[in-house]
Amino acid sequence: MAVVQETTDVRAEWVEYTSEGAKISAYLATPQEGSGPWPTVMMVHENPGLIPHRQDVTRRLAKLGYVVLTPNLYSRIGGNAPESPDDLEVKRQIVLATADEQVHADILNGAEYLKKNHPEADAKRLGLFGNCMGGQKGFYIATHSNIFTCFLNFYGPVIARGELQPDRKDHNYLPYAKDLSCPMQYHVGDQDTACPMPDVKMLQEELAKYHKDVQFFIYPGAAHAFHGDHGPRYHPEAANLAWQRGMAFLDKHLKG
């Protein structure tokens, strides 16, 4: 485990818990001042894994008064995303390493770990925040459990492309919409090829059919992963606005 990192605002450390018989490494950030209990967020990382950017976002949330746990979904395969000279093969290996049911268990067991071991984390004020693949997995989690107060979704794909699936068939998440168990806020750029606008519209319509409490924000000119200030598709205006809206959403449901 890494050495605990402390600043005047945040305490951050690597922790470990058990999920489905596997040891899961996770990055935990807690507000430094005060004793809590603080509202809590489970974060679901994107395809590249629990990289420095995702750790930084974990700390950013803690600075705003949240206990945040980001499990490493690649813990079973050494902690890093699969590698291959073939980009398509990498994505297929990622799908195999992060099955929906497995990620669901890892996130819920992470929440249970906090409940048992960190009294400063308020289990009754528990949010979910997913980015990219994490948004897609987060949608599965929020439709297959009822422990979350709210779900913040940054450009989670609605349909997983068949070419990436073991059975080569599209995996459509729309049928899960009827079971969404908490309010959701969804952010996406209109140039996002992983979350094309027709797919986003279908998700909006499906959730509306079941009268779910949702908000959609679409950002002109922004592509996939626009919030990642470490990457080539970073869109500062969209990223800043989405962050402001997302934090207001979390504050409303977890601090209000």
For the segment 112-117, the average pLDDT, to the nearest whole number, is 98
Q: What is the pLDDT of residue 73?
A: 98
pLDDT digits (tens, 9 = 90+) for 13-26: 999 999 999 999 99
pLDDT band at residue 2 under the 50/70/90 scheme = low
Placement of tokens 């922004």 in the chain: 222
Query: Quick one: 36 exposed, middle or buried, by C-beta within 10 A (0-12, 13-18, 19+)?
Result: middle
C-alpha Rg value of the chain to the nearest Å: 17
CATH of domain 5-255: 3.40.50.1820
For 158-197, give the DSSP string.
SEE-GGGSTTSS-EE-GGGGGG--S-EEEEEETT-SSS-H
Single-letter code of the amino acid located at 134: G
Q: What is the pLDDT of residue 3?
A: 56
| Bridge-based pairing state of the strands 67-71 and 38-44 | parallel
Contact residues for 117 (Cβ-Cβ < 8 A; gap 6+): none
For the segment 214-234, the average pLDDT, to the nearest whole number, is 97
pLDDT band at residue 5 under the 50/70/90 scheme = confident
The secondary structure of residue 163, as a DSSP letter, is G
Placement of tokens 């709210």 in the chain: 150
Nearest to 222 by CA among 182, 171, 187, 246: 187
Let me know: does 212 contact 177? Beta carbons within 8 Å: yes
Q: What is the pLDDT of residue 79?
A: 98
pLDDT band at residue 67 under the 50/70/90 scheme = very high
| Element spanning 151, H or E | strand 150-154
Q: Where are the domains of the chain?
A: 5-255
Alpha-carbon span 140 to 69, nearest angstrom: 18
pLDDT at 34 over 70: yes
Q: What is the pLDDT of residue 256?
A: 85
Phi, psi of 70 (to 5 degrees): -115, 100
pLDDT at 246 over 90: yes
pLDDT digits (tens, 9 = 90+) for 171-209: 999 999 999 999 999 999 999 999 999 999 999 999 999
Single-letter code of the amino acid located at 94: I
pLDDT at 6 over 90: no
Q: Specify the long-range contacts of residues 88-93, CB closer than 8 Å, at least 24 apart.
A: 88/163, 88/164, 91/47, 91/164, 92/164, 92/165, 92/166
Alpha-carbon span 137 to 46, nearest angstrom: 9
Alpha-carbon dihedral angle through residues 100, 46, 40, 217, given to the nearest 10 degrees? -100
Angle formed by the axes of helices 100-117 and 133-142, nearest 10°: 70
